[in-house]
Amino acid sequence: MPREDWPRPLLHGTPPRGFMNDPNGLVYHQGRYHFFYQHNPQAPVWGHMSWGHAVGRSLLDWEDQPVALPEQPDHMVFSGSAVVDKANAAGFGAGALVAIYTAHYRDDREAQCLAYSLDGGQQWAFYEENPVLVDPERPHVRDPQVFWYAPGNYWVMAVARADERQVAFYASDNLRRWALLSTFGPAGCWQASPHWECPALLELPVEGTDRTHWLLKVDVDRGAPMGGSGAQYFTGHFDGTHFVPDDPPETVRWAEAGPDFYAAQAFNHMPDRRCVWLGWMNNWRYANVLPTAPWRGMLTIPRELSLKETSGRYDLVQRPCRECYEQMLPAERLPIRRPFPLPAAGLMRLRIAAGGRGAFRCHFFTGTTSGVVLGYDAEHRRLFLDRRAAGQTDFSPAFPGLFQASLPHDVPSELELEILFDRYSLEVFVPEARLVLSALVFPKPGDCAGQIIADRLLISTELYRLEA
Ligand code: FRU
């Protein structure tokens, strides 16, 4: 019998009921982080798309709010972003929160629209003169990412021309009238992917310097190396008009080595200089049939972004946001070989000798016959995550899997793995190897042991439990 009472994760955003996909409108405003998201409030499958809403005093609080932008009679409310209009450029009111989203009309056409809130995100009004941006030649243009481009004194929008597999850039000084700046693509992964979605153009710090460099992430709905949907990125320079990539057009780079990362977007108007993004921890191959109830779909942990430059090549580095550690109890050492009880959520930090000989395995969510294995094979310098025997896997043939990533050659001899675990997920960060591997897992009730089996490679272990 299907269980109807799946407790929600402790550190990850989920809808109270119904379906969730992309994060939307991530923005910091008056001391609070707003998390909006693609939401079907009526059923735990995709449909009736609306913007669900949660707020937090920190990046890891999640306080459910009423639906912010409900489905409209003539359109669904698809993905988009939110900005704070401090100078009242749009004329809705000084300090208005303005959402720029894609209307998906009943006849399948799409256009960009505005909605605004004058009370800090509680009540919303749709702009009377919507849509504000229509492309008469292209029915499927969606997922506007809007941010303030200070050097030019205007707003920039990056939006996906989904069928063309291009990103178009527009500028506006009032959020209502948009002028085309340039386009990018097709490039990278496009032939294997019918659609590009959810672009994000981000200016990121270059590690160890006081410089910045640009990254353009754009998702593919099919054709990612782990199967199904995924996030590719390009690094380059944005001069206010054009995005000029560093690499030749056929170069393909992926933000993740795991199967479950999509539709990421970064917070607008962060109170500090960090660039923090989070994604939908899911894959369109099985998103509609995950076993949880009465809610379905969850977000990743917020991640701090930077670029690491090695001989002219820039790699994306993601780290769990530092607030993760602030939520945890002081570190404990872990036993080796002997099973130990795994808390419902926490962070494990392991130091390994990446260049040594041997292997290590770390088992999570283990029961008598099930478990997830995260391992490192030193001979092949490969990190792997095996969820083939992880509790429930039979809801989709695309779900069980073994995911692997090779370490780049220029990593230090000692590496740190930060493994964030929560109900139904593992996120493995290896910042020095520019690797992240995120995967959903659905342990059976009672599958709650951990065990580390290591042969020489392990230097130290730390477990941080989530504060009760
Ligand atoms: C990506 C996506 C977006 C669209 C939204 C609809 O997951 O397909 O392109 O705006 O989901 O829910």
Q: What is the three-class DSSP state of 283?
A: coil
Specify whether 143 is catalytic.
no
Q: Do 440 and 281 touch, CB atoms closer than 8 A? A: yes
Atom of ligand 1 nearest to the CA of 79: 10
Q: What is the pTM of this model?
A: 0.97
79 CB near ligand 1 (under 6 Å)? yes
Question: If we measure between CA atoms, which residue out of 140, 248, 257 comes closest to residue 188?
Answer: 248
What is the mean pLDDT of the segment spanning 157-166? Answer: 98
Question: How many angstroms does the Cα of residue 78 sit away from the middle of ligand 1?
Answer: 6
Q: Do residues 385 and 374 lie in contact, with contact meaning Cβ atoms separated by under 8 Å?
A: yes
Rounded Cα distance, 351 and 458, in Å: 6
Q: According to the model, what pLDDT value does residue 355 have?
A: 83
Residue 67: its pLDDT value, please?
98
Q: Given ligand 1 and candidates 19, 20, 37, 38, which is best to mutate, with the most ligand atoms within 8 Å of its CB?
A: 38
> Per-residue confidence at 2, pLDDT binned at 50, 70, 90?
low
The answer to whether residues 276 and 27 touch, using CB atoms and an 8 Å cutoff, is no
- State residue 152 phi and psi, 5-degree precision: -100, -10
pLDDT in tens, 398-419: 999 999 999 998 999 999 999 9
Which ligand 1 atom sits closest to the C-alpha of 162? 9
Share of the chain above pLDDT 90, in %: 93
Asked if the interface predicted TM-score (ipTM) of this complex is over 0.90, the answer is yes
Contact 142 CB / ligand 1 (< 6 Å): yes
Q: Which atom of ligand 1 is nearest to the CA of 262?
A: 7
With contact defined as beta carbons under 8 Å apart, do 51 and 265 qualify? no
270 Cα to the center of ligand 1, angstroms: 24
- How far apart CA 428 and CA 385 sit, in angstroms, is 9
**How do residues 215-251 score in pLDDT, each as one tens digit?**
999 999 999 999 999 999 999 999 999 999 999 999 9
Angle at CA of residue 175, ends 173 and 181, nearest 5°: 65
Can you tell me the mean pLDDT for 285-311?
97
How far out from the chain centre does Cα 424 lie?
16
Cα(396)–Cα(424) distance, integer angstroms: 16
pLDDT for 1:
46
**Which atom of ligand 1 approaches the CA of 160 most closely?**
9
What residues pair up with 102 in beta bridges, in sequence order? 112
Question: CA-to-CA distance for 45 and 21, rounded, in angstroms?
Answer: 10
Paired with 141 in beta bridges are: 161
Given ligand 1 and candidates 45, 108, 145, 197, which is best to mutate, with the most ligand atoms within 8 Å of its CB?
197
For the chain, give the percent of residues with pLDDT over 70.
99
Could you write out the DSSP letters of every residue in 308-367? Answer: EEETTEEEEEEEE-THHHHTBPPPB---SSS-EEPPSSEEEEEEEETTSSSEEEEEEEE-
The overall average pLDDT reported for the chain is 96
Cα of 282 vs centre of ligand 1, distance in Å, is 12
Residues 6 or more apart whose CB falls under 8 angstroms from that of 103 comprise 72, 74, 75, 76, 77, 78, 110, 111, 112, 113, 130, 131
Any atom of ligand 1 within 6 Å of the Cβ of 22: yes
Residue 198 beta carbon below 6 angstroms from any ligand 1 atom: yes
Selecting among 22, 219, 260, 386, the annotated active-site residue is 22
Residue with tokens 């809808």: 15
All structural domains of the chain, each given as residue ranges with its CATH number in brackets, are 18-320 (2.115.10.20), 329-465 (2.60.120.560)
- Which among 360, 402, 355 has a CA at the least distance from the CA of 377? 360
Split at pLDDT 50, 70, 90, the class of 266 is: very high
